Amino acid sequence: MSLLEIENLKLDIGGTPILKGIELKIEAGEIMGLVGESGSGKSMTALSVMRLLPEFAALSGRIGFNGLDLVKASEEDMCALRGDDIGMVFQEPMTALNPLKTIGEQVAEGIRLHTGANRTDAEGQARVMLQRVGLPPEKFALSRYPHELSGGQRQRVVIAIACALKPKLLIADEPTTALDVVLQAQILDLLRELVNENRMGMLLISHDLAVATEMADRITILRGGEVMETGDTAQTLSAQVRPYTRQLTQASLHVPERHKRVSATTSSSNESKPPLLSVKNVTKDYPGRRASLFEKPQTFRAVDNVSFTLGEGRSVALVGRSGCGKSTLARVILALEKSTSGSVAFRGEVVTGRDEAALRSARRDMQVVFQDPYGSFNPRRTVEWLVAEPLHLLDKKPGKAERRELIEHALHEVGLQPSDMHKYPHEFSGGQRQRISIARAIITRPKLVVADEPVSALDVSIRAQILDLFAHLNQKLGVAYIFITHDLTVARAITDEVMVMHEGRIVETGKTEEVLSHPQSDAARMLVEAAPDLHLALAKKMQEQG
Amino acid sequence: MTAYLLRRIVSGLVTLVVASIVVFSVLEVIPGDPARLMLGMNATDDAVQALRVQMGLDQGFLIRYFHWTGGLLTLDFGKSYTYSVPVGELIAERVTVSLPLALIALALSTAIAIPVGVFAAARRGKPADTISMAVAQVGVAIPNFWFALLLVYLFAVWLQLVPAGGFPGWQAGIGPALKALILPAIALALPQAAILARVSRSALIEVLGEDFIRMARAKGLSRNAALWRHALRNAMLPVLTILGLQFAFLLAGTVIIENVFYLPGVGRLVVQAINQRDLIVVESVVMLLVASVILINLLVDMAYAVVDPRLRTRA
Amino acid sequence: MSETATHRERGFLREAFANRSFATGTIITTLIVAMALLSFFWTPYDVTKLVVADRMLPPSWDHILGTDQFGRDVLSMIMVGARNSIAVALVAVGIGMGIGVPLGCWAAAKGGYIDDALMRANDVVFAFPALLSAIMITAVFGPGAINAIIAIGIFNIPVFARVARAGALSIRPREFVLAARAAGKGPMLITIEHILPNITTLLLVQGTIQFALGILAEASLSYLGLGAQPPMPSWGRMLFDAQTRMVVAPHLAIAPGMAIVFTVLGLNLIGDGLADLLDPKLRRRR
């Protein structure tokens, strides 16, 4: 008998079918990867096993665990199982811990509840467990509060809570999605070790096929609340029997077709022309908190003496761990933040320290695309209004007909219909919104577009399409890009050069392919090693699983 | 934590100083001639002149301001024009009525509201929740002085259980004195309790939706255990803020409730002083009330620091 | 931002009326306002006419709510009194919004010292128990409806300034504001085009709350004799007059109190409904 047997699991929430007959088995000591795009029902499957579903959820089918059917189990039985035989790790470590209780209390709580141990014994066990997850008591006392720990450390506490009683089954719902790649690699290693040590079964939920491939023995692919395919990871992903499996894998591996642009070479040969963008010794400090009322506040240096140049039509990636200063640098370049020192010159003109009126012509040729396809638009305006917003920068206001033509043209360029301009942003999907975002960025025919994590909030299949669009526009319009990304696959797919940023400094620059295959600096090497890579992971799994 | 509290204390003091300037300006500068305002239009010029000298109005604004604030600091509030006694004595006597009244009302309102809020939040969407929140909704809308009238009619006029008004003084004994304060305290407390119950409920419901509650449930805690052990303390943070604000409301409430029940408290004093244009009493009482609001806010900030470790370490 | 939150664009009113609080509150408030408007054209009796023979009559078919100590019809007085209550509270909210919202947006846009100074000034106003200060102001400038409006209005300013500032600060870091800045739009234009439309509901919720508090404050002031002056009928004054006649004519204390409760309840229900629509996370099932 398997550890967990899910049979014909159906879930309805308020009359909407969410799961439509899920079948899934996990053996002891096995990692099952559950992958799928957003809305496929991955998290709901996990919450069904935990029986922590929202109110008005109707569950049917069978979830066999430990000789019990969890679908029919009483609430008391479930309370006894949760945290004891089944542990769960959630996605968001910043909010998963009670801010008013110490980490010791929070780890010990489950131990005391299930084993009846007294406070001292439970705290002893908690100490051992925290040590095991990489938080040694001499550095991380039990009396610490969550806000004193970083995101990665908090996720370790969450794992300690989930694994404190050596559960038979561990459910991890996107456990590393909120962390940067380096932390992700560390947390995944920790999870794998814990599974091996205690012969736990693990249900690993991920939207990232590379992560699932690296980790899972077997994989289940979900779509729209149904299982598309299930089987050994290597076998399933290499054979790609089902069309959806194929589609998902291809999209994850997708690299847009790009031809070497002629102008790129000509511009570099034409030495006399100033580069499109030239950043010189830019530093940005933020005021920090005061340690006491009478001391000077400490400053936090987000960007530290950064210099680089960018030629016309070139595409450069700015990569680095979260908090390394990538986004701040982008905002300084876009003149949305003032730099503390240093200068940014655009087409040979210095833009730092200029007032808004003087910036108009630079702004016209320098636009931006943001990450969040939901937050990028004022929800109260139509697409027409939103896309036309940068036209504000034109010296000669276009007439009604001309304005309309410009909007239609921009929408056409990104693959949307002219009729879309009368709709509101909420009527579009995430991918379409990102297209609108791009349409807004290119309507003034800029020479440079700064894209801050433009595809990281998108599902893989959509991501592939948006990357194609960026590549297409680069060729057609000759627009140069600065791509800010934590995802090296994106950098590899779309950029000529890469700059690696670490603690505010640019530590390595070079041709994308070279830097990513032969990183020189420690920071770059750490990034490359930690980055999940589907090609490599698949090759490794193929060897293991034959 | 000390830096946090120090900052709060400094900002409280600044507020107090600015408030004193505002009170001084409103009562002594804007009216033009306070002596004329106090005596009315029919007073003789001689009488006005005499009062001007007595109040020191022949001196400049700044000197008067510093004289007044200096007096406040040494608890010398000046002399009441109508009562001809030091304002300090007058206030001290009246505070023995108002302070117990406000404290009883605050205790009563908290004791009713928080359990109701927790009860409703725990049974969210069930009939018990719907009914208690409908009652609270109506409670919020009831003006306290009207509620006081109804209480008087029911308990004093009809059932004759308690006096309809007046205060026998503490020297008459604790029993009769409390009996005179009980209706005013209820009249003050219940509408406030309605507000507080709604705030507690929504604060608790919001916390119950947090990730760490789901985490607690995943640890094996039952719904109720998660509520008591993890949600309640977090939900108390916004409730504390409202409690602080309510104290200001209660102080204002005592002004009107004391008039309904003819209680010789600070509130009745200030209304009488306003009617008699006894500005010295008015400005002293207003400053006293402002100072107590600032003090309460400071206490709330301290309570925050005790409950929330994030404030303790945020140096 | 979730799908449901942005959905409020379409058919906002339809969705709003599906909310039971909002619908009930709107019906109650509309009735009260209609009553006040009707009183300009018609009341059952003339409220300025004293009929000493009909003093303190209990409710009957001729006088549905009875008569007061001067023989005036209580229903007619309630209708006319509604005018006064609504006008005072509405104008006071107008003052608070008209001054507070621009101040709050300005503080949020400027930040730094201007923000600090404005917020400190807010703290000072908040340190005064509002009703007490209203009493103080009417005492210095004399009782009357206009001074009541000013007194209540002044204390609405920091409330709206605070709400507007908090709302603006939550909208400002959003990416669409950054995009607008990249499109060369200045702080003024961004406030008008992006921030205000997105904090309207927030301000409306606060508006209904302050409106309701204004009704209560006006009633308290008139009860103390500091609001509208006789012969202009006002609900608070009616309650004051009823108090001494409680034993002989308890009906006099019921109607004005109910009028206040219904008005405040109606407004609070609207506010609750709007808040529910604004924040689907807290949406309560009723």
Closest-CA distance, A280 to chain C, in angstroms, reads 21
Instruction: Test B289 with C285 for CB contact under 8 angstroms.
Output: no
Instruction: Please give the backbone phi and psi of residue A218, each rounded to the nearest 5 degrees, phi first.
Output: -125, 160
Considering only CB atoms, which chain B residues are within 8 Å of A110?
219-220
Closest-CA distance, A436 to chain B, in angstroms, reads 33
Instruction: Test A370 with C1 for CB contact under 8 angstroms.
Output: no
Instruction: Test C128 with B30 for CB contact under 8 angstroms.
Output: no
Instruction: Test C129 with B252 for CB contact under 8 angstroms.
Output: yes
Residue B125: closest CA among chain A residues belongs to which residue?
A: A55
Q: What is the pLDDT of residues B76-130, one digit of tens each?
A: 888 887 777 888 888 998 999 999 999 999 999 999 999 999 999 999 888 999 9
Q: Mean pLDDT per 10-residue run, chain A (546 residues)?
A: 92 90 93 91 94 89 92 93 94 91 94 93 94 91 91 93 94 90 92 93 93 94 93 91 90 79 45 81 82 66 92 92 89 91 90 86 91 80 92 87 92 91 87 91 93 87 89 90 89 91 93 92 92 88 83
Q: Which of residues 102-141 of B touch C (CB under 8 A)?
A: 124-125, 130, 133, 137-138, 140-141
Contact indicator for B281, B289 with CB cutoff of 8 Å: no
Instruction: Test A390 with C186 for CB contact under 8 angstroms.
Output: no
Considering only CB atoms, which chain B residues are within 8 Å of A82?
217-220
* Closest in C9, C179, C180 to A424, CB measured: C9
Considering only CB atoms, which chain A residues are within 8 Å of C180?
378, 389
Half-sphere exposure (Cβ direction) of A265: Cα atoms closer than 13 Å: 4
pTM of full prediction above 0.90: no
Interface test with C, best of A331, A363, A378, A424 (most C CBs within 10 A): A378
Angle made by CA atoms A382, A387, A393, in degrees to the nearest 5: 125
Q: Chain C residues with CB-CB distance to B under 8 A? A: 120-121, 123-124, 126-133, 135-137, 139-140, 212, 216, 219-220, 223-224, 239, 242-243, 246-247, 250, 253, 256-257, 260-262, 264-265, 268-269, 272, 281-282, 284-286
Which pLDDT band holds residue C225 (cuts at 50, 70, 90)? Answer: confident
Find the Cα–Cα–Cα–Cα dihedral B231, B233, B236, B240, rounded to 10°: -170
* Chains A, B: CB pairs < 8 Å: 83
Instruction: Test B307 with A97 for CB contact under 8 angstroms.
Output: no
Considering only CB atoms, which chain A residues are within 8 Å of B233?
100
Interface test with C, best of B145, B155, B159 (most C CBs within 10 A): B145
Residue B222: closest CA among chain A residues belongs to which residue?
A: A79
Q: What type of residue sits at position C272?
A: D
Closest-CA distance, C13 to chain B, in angstroms, reads 23
Query: Is residue A377 within 8 angstroms of chain C, CB to CB?
Result: yes
Q: What is the pLDDT of residues C130-174, one digit of tens each?
A: 788 787 787 778 788 888 898 899 889 999 999 999 999 999 888
* Closest in A55, A101, A113 to B221, CB measured: A113
Which pLDDT band holds residue C4 (cuts at 50, 70, 90)? Answer: very low
Instruction: Test A82 with B217 for CB contact under 8 angstroms.
Output: yes
Closest-CA distance, B202 to chain C, in angstroms, reads 8
Considering only CB atoms, which chain A residues are within 8 Å of B210?
95
Q: What is the pLDDT of residues B229-263, one digit of tens each?
A: 999 999 988 898 888 888 878 887 888 899 889 99
Contacting residues for A450 by C-beta, under 8 A, at least 6 apart: A330, A333, A334, A366, A367, A368, A369, A481, A482, A484
Contact indicator for B86, B77 with CB cutoff of 8 Å: yes
Query: Is residue C281 within 8 angstroms of chain A, CB to CB?
Result: no
Per-residue pLDDT, C281? 45
Q: What is the pLDDT of residues C176-201, one digit of tens each?
A: 999 999 988 888 999 999 999 989 88
Residue B140: closest CA among chain C residues belongs to which residue?
A: C265
Instruction: Test A390 with C181 for CB contact under 8 angstroms.
Output: no
Query: Is residue B61 within 8 angstroms of chain C, CB to CB?
Result: no
Contact indicator for A284, A449 with CB cutoff of 8 Å: no
Considering only CB atoms, which chain B residues are within 8 Å of C133?
286
Take residue A20 and report the two structure tokens written for it: 């439509």
Class of domain B90-314: mainly alpha
Query: Is residue C180 within 8 angstroms of chain A, CB to CB?
Result: yes
Per-residue pLDDT, C11? 61
Per-residue pLDDT, B313? 64
Take residue A212 and report the two structure tokens written for it: 């699932």
Which pLDDT band holds residue C5 (cuts at 50, 70, 90)? Answer: very low
Q: What is the pLDDT of residues C15-30, one digit of tens each?
A: 777 788 899 999 999 9
Per-residue pLDDT, A438? 92
Angle made by CA atoms A134, A135, A140, in degrees to the nearest 5: 165
> What is the distance between the alpha carbons of residues C134 and C80, in angstroms, rounded to a whole number?
23
Residue A292: closest CA among chain B residues belongs to which residue?
A: B3
> What is the distance between the alpha carbons of residues C42 and C124, in angstroms, rounded to a whole number?
45
> What is the distance between the alpha carbons of residues C121 and C137, in angstroms, rounded to a whole number?
18
Please state whether beta strands A366-369 and A448-452 pair in parallel, antiparallel, or not at all (unpaired). Answer: parallel
Instruction: Test A368 with C182 for CB contact under 8 angstroms.
Output: yes
Contact indicator for C88, C227 with CB cutoff of 8 Å: yes
Instruction: Test C260 with B146 for CB contact under 8 angstroms.
Output: yes
pLDDT tens by residue, chain B, 315 residues: 677 788 889 989 999 999 999 888 887 776 667 777 777 777 778 877 887 777 777 777 788 888 888 888 888 888 887 777 888 888 998 999 999 999 999 999 999 999 999 999 999 888 999 999 999 999 999 999 999 999 988 888 888 887 878 888 888 888 888 888 999 999 999 999 999 999 999 999 989 989 999 999 999 999 999 999 999 999 988 898 888 888 878 887 888 899 889 999 998 888 888 878 788 888 888 898 899 889 998 998 888 888 888 877 643
Instruction: Test A96 with B308 for CB contact under 8 angstroms.
Output: no
> What is the distance between the alpha carbons of residues A210 and A208, in angstroms, rounded to a whole number?
5
Find residue A249's DSSP bridge partners.
none
Number of H helices, E strands in chain B: 14, 0
Q: Which of residues 204-243 of B touch C (CB under 8 A)?
A: 205-206, 209
* Closest in C7, C10, C176 to A378, CB measured: C176
Per-residue pLDDT, A296? 64
Instruction: Test A372 with C175 for CB contact under 8 angstroms.
Output: yes
3-state secondary structure B11-56: HHHHHHHHHHHHHHHHHHHCCCCHHHHHHCCCCCHHHHHHHHHHHC
Instruction: Test C132 with B256 for CB contact under 8 angstroms.
Output: no
Per-residue pLDDT, C12? 66
Determine the average pLDDT of the residues in C83-91.
93
Instruction: Please give the backbone phi and psi of residue A5, each rounded to the nearest 5 degrees, phi first.
Output: -130, 110
| pLDDT reading at C282 higher than 50 | no
> What is the distance between the alpha carbons of residues B50 and B238, in angstroms, rounded to a whole number?
53
Contacting residues for C246 by C-beta, under 8 A, at least 6 apart: B149, B152, B153, B157, C253
> What is the distance between the alpha carbons of residues A169 and A200, in angstroms, rounded to a whole number?
6
Considering only CB atoms, which chain A residues are within 8 Å of B219?
82-83, 109-110, 113, 161
Parse chain B into domains and list their residue ranges: 2-73, 90-314
Question: Which domains, from first to last, does chain C contain?
Answer: 70-285 (1.10.3720.10)
Contacting residues for A457 by C-beta, under 8 A, at least 6 apart: A371, A372, A373, A430
Instruction: Test B217 with A80 for CB contact under 8 angstroms.
Output: no
* Closest in A359, A376, A379 to C179, CB measured: A376
